[in-house]
Amino acid sequence: MSDAQKIKPVRKAVFPVAGLGTRFLPATKAIPKEMLPIVDRPLIQYAVDEAREAGIEQLIFVTGRGKTAIVEHFDTAYELEATMHEREKSLDVLAATRVQPGNLVTVRQQVPLGLGHAIWCARAVIGDEPFAIFLPDELMIGTPGCMKQMVDAYSQVGGNVISVLEVPRSDVSSYGVIAPGKSHGNLTEVTGLVEKPKIDAAPSNLIISGRYILQPEVMDLLENQEKGAGGEIQLTDAMAQMIGNQPFHAVTFNGTRYDCGSKTGFVEATLALAMARPDMGDEVRAMARRLLGL
């Protein structure tokens, strides 16, 4: 059996959505940040759509208090659908919000101990399978989507695959950064990882951009992971220990990333996606020109 045949498919994805969304208060006092809309779709929907395009079957939401709206969004809304049907309104707009029974699982992160801890909370559902991770704050727009690009690469090299983007070196201290090895096209060998390095100590300007495919062994490392940068259990620290023991590569995403964890990034994404839509793009561009006095 060839190495390619031995590579297990990626069928599960973890979505860490337990954060409090304090940057967007007071909007997020009663509404999860992940449910804030970019035009007419909540942020979490974009991540789920990207996962489905990549062949992901099971969605695992790591949630906290006040996050039930995320699960309800992907549930069947019988009253709403019945009313729309009676009024002869199309239900196609709701198609993407439906998840087959058993394909959506929630687990609780009871204490906010960082991204690594949030991923570890999903260990029982992951079992011994490779899995994807989506950080919904990172809105990745491309054709094909970011995770599909990663899954295509993973099917060739196996192991662990992360998404990276090139940024100005002045920005690297805000992100996880890779130490690059050999490159072939958009695929780069990862020889090291550093979480939020100082500018002069950063091994490159290639930052981890919110999408991962990891082998289940990372859960064993997170089990005893000590706190790292920011006093939190960092996923990057656990991944760094896997380098040299398993294949580890980075895919440079061919597309556009919007940082929807910041207000300005959220507004940028809303404007960009609105202008790209054929049903409203012309009106939005005209509105922007009017507001700018152009």
Structure tokens at 100: 């087959």
The confidence score (pLDDT) of residue 20 equals 85
Q: How high is the mean pLDDT in each 10-residue block of the chain (294 residues)?
A: 66 94 92 95 96 96 90 90 90 89 89 88 94 96 96 94 92 88 91 87 90 95 75 83 92 94 96 96 95 91
Q: Biggest alpha carbon distance in the chain?
A: 65
The strand pair at 131-134 and 12-16 is best described as parallel
Residue-wise pLDDT for 14-36, tens only, equals: 999 998 889 999 999 999 999 99
Is the CATH number of domain 9-261 1.20.120.80?
Answer: no
pLDDT at 268: 97
- Predicted confidence at residue 187, as pLDDT, reads 94
Residue type for position 43: L
C-beta separation of 209 from 250 below 8 A: no
Report the pLDDT value the prediction gives residue 38, as an integer from 0 to 100: 96
The reported pLDDT for the residue numbered 5 is 47
- For 205, 225, 234, the CA distances from 220, given in Å and listed in that order, are 29, 9, 14
How far apart (Å, rounded) are the C-alpha atoms in residues 113 and 134?
A: 18
Would you state the structure tokens that stand for residue 186, as one six-digit string?
Answer: 């958009």
* C-alpha torsion 56→58→62→67, nearest 10: 100
Full-prediction pTM beyond 0.85?
yes
> Where do the domains of the chain lie?
9-261
Helix (H, G, I), strand (E, B) or coil at 231: helix
Structure-token match 């940024």, residue found: 167
Instruction: Compute how many other C-beta atoms are within 10 angstroms of the C-beta atom of residue 263.
Output: 11
pLDDT at 154: 96
- Residue 144: cis peptide before it, omega within 30 degrees of 0: yes
Q: Are 53 and 148 in contact (CB under 8 A)?
A: yes
pLDDT in tens, 254-265: 999 999 999 999
Give the pLDDT confidence score for residue 4 in this predicted structure: 45
> What is the predicted pLDDT for the residue at 2?
41
Q: What's residue 114's pLDDT?
A: 86
SS3 261: coil
